[in-house]
A = this chain, B = another copy of it.
Amino acid sequence: MSYISKLAVFEGSVEIGYNVVIEDNVIVGKNVKIGNNVVIKEGTKIGDNCVIFDGAVLGKEPWKSSTSATTKEATGLSPLKIGNNVVIGANSVVYKGALLEDFVFVGDLAVIRERVTVGIASVVGKGVTIENETTIGKYVKIETNAYITAFSVVEDYCFVAPEVTFTNDNFLGRTEERKKFFKGPILKKGSRIGANATLLPGIVVGEDALVAAGAVVTRDVPARKIVMGVPAKVVGDVPENQLLENQSYYREEE
């Protein structure tokens, strides 16, 4: 049986499955579909034309483990905000304090943490994790099971292949000092990371650069270069026809 708070607001037509929980002050736009067993926590705002698949949990409150070094206190988080035309996959979990812009697509069984922004039309694949304090630009694709660590930046039009691993702690949990150095990778506009590659903490991947599948990236990657291997080395230039500026879907910033 569903529980729908009397303080939830529905701005237009909505289709709601069975055994759904919608808490106080949730705002749901027009023409939204909400699957079965979906949980929408207090204050979450969902735009028009969204589809929320079965078992998704929206607006989950963060909870700090007793030994966490990167999770801040949850106080003062804004409610989860989801734009228009967003799709959320089955059994996915999106936290309070996240912002998903219009046309974002989230696959099944993904997790998006607090203080994360995902830009327009970006795709967060099945099983992907985006940790807290991270910014994902627009038209980005992050594919299945990729791990985007806390304090990462992924700029517009980037591509992150399946099972890629980002890291943010060169000290692997040791020394108090390390807490000053936590830094996720920075993917500059249009850069691409191949399948199952590993990026060391704070690595900057230059504009339109390409990291080959399986590479372990231990230093910054120059713009428009291809790197490969363990550790990754420059092996050539990104071909002209693969540059972002030559893609039909690319639109220069106004």
Residues of chain A having any CB pair with chain B under 8 Å: 1-3, 17-19, 21, 35-37, 39, 51, 53-55, 57, 60, 63, 65-68, 85, 87, 89-91, 93, 103, 105, 107-109, 111, 121, 123, 126-127, 129, 131, 139, 141, 144-145, 147, 149, 159, 161-163, 165-167, 171-177, 192, 194-196, 198, 200, 210, 213-214, 216, 229-230, 241-244, 247-249
B144 near A144: Cβ-Cβ < 8 Å: no
A93 near B109: Cβ-Cβ < 8 Å: yes
Determine the distance from Cα of A174 to Cα of B224 in the docked complex, in whole angstroms: 13
- When distances are taken between beta carbons in the complex, the residues of chain B under 8 Å from A247 are 174-175
Determine the distance from Cα of A230 to Cα of B67 in the docked complex, in whole angstroms: 32
A147 near B144: Cβ-Cβ < 8 Å: yes
Determine the distance from Cα of A158 to Cα of B236 in the docked complex, in whole angstroms: 36
Determine the distance from Cα of A90 to Cα of B60 in the docked complex, in whole angstroms: 9
Determine the distance from Cα of A1 to Cα of B165 in the docked complex, in whole angstroms: 40
B39 near A21: Cβ-Cβ < 8 Å: no
Shortest beta-carbon distance from A17 to chain B in Å: 7
B249 near A165: Cβ-Cβ < 8 Å: no
- When distances are taken between beta carbons in the complex, the residues of chain B under 8 Å from A126 are 111, 129
Q: Given A144-B147, A159-B173, A165-B196, 5 other A-B contacts at CB below 8 A?
A: A65-B87, A66-B103, A66-B121, A145-B147, A214-B230
